[in-house]
């Protein structure tokens, strides 16, 4: 049975939650809902970090949906603007930090 723990939540951006029961991570961003195991979550986050670091923030195009993010479903892409990419990166970065903190606290309390 699923027992969710919030890793990130924002009324406008969405959320990232961890299921303690099955250890899956769910991301809700805009009208997208994705669920991964930890490995796939980290792979997606690494991809977003690279894309974010390589995408220039130009005020003239910051809201234009020009960035296609692949997902593990053939023929499906997430289309984002540079501003949305920035929001997604912030969400994932915050969630990953929270996940790491919880893992560390769990290790320390189990020792």
Q: What is the DSSP letter of 8?
A: E
Q: Average pLDDT, stretch 11-36?
A: 93
Q: Which positions ≥6 away from 94 have C-beta within 8 Å?
A: 7, 8, 16
Mean pLDDT of the chain: 92
CB 61 within 8 A of CB 21: no
Q: Average pLDDT, stretch 47-75?
A: 92
> pTM of the full predicted structure?
0.89
Rg for the chain (alpha carbons), in Å? 15
pLDDT recorded at residue 89: 97
Q: Which positions ≥6 away from 86 have C-beta within 8 Å?
A: 52, 57
User: Coil, strand, or helix at residue 109?
Assistant: helix
Q: How confident is the model at residue 106 (pLDDT cuts 50, 70, 90)?
A: confident
Of 18 and 20, the one with more pLDDT: 18
């Amino acid at each position: 049975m699923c027992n969710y723990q919030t890793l990130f939540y924002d009324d406008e951006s969405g959320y990232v939650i961890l299921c303690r029961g099955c250890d899956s991570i769910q991301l809700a961003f805009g009208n997208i809902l994705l669920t991964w195991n930890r490995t796939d979550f980290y792979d997606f986050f690494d991809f977003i970090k690279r894309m974010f670091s390589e995408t220039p923030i130009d005020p003239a195009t910051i809201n234009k949906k020009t960035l296609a993010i692949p997902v593990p479903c053939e023929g499906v892409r997430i289309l984002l603007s540079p501003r949305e990419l920035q929001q997604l990166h912030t969400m994932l970065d915050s969630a990953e930090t929270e996940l790491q903190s919880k893992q560390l606290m769990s290790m320390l309390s189990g020792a």
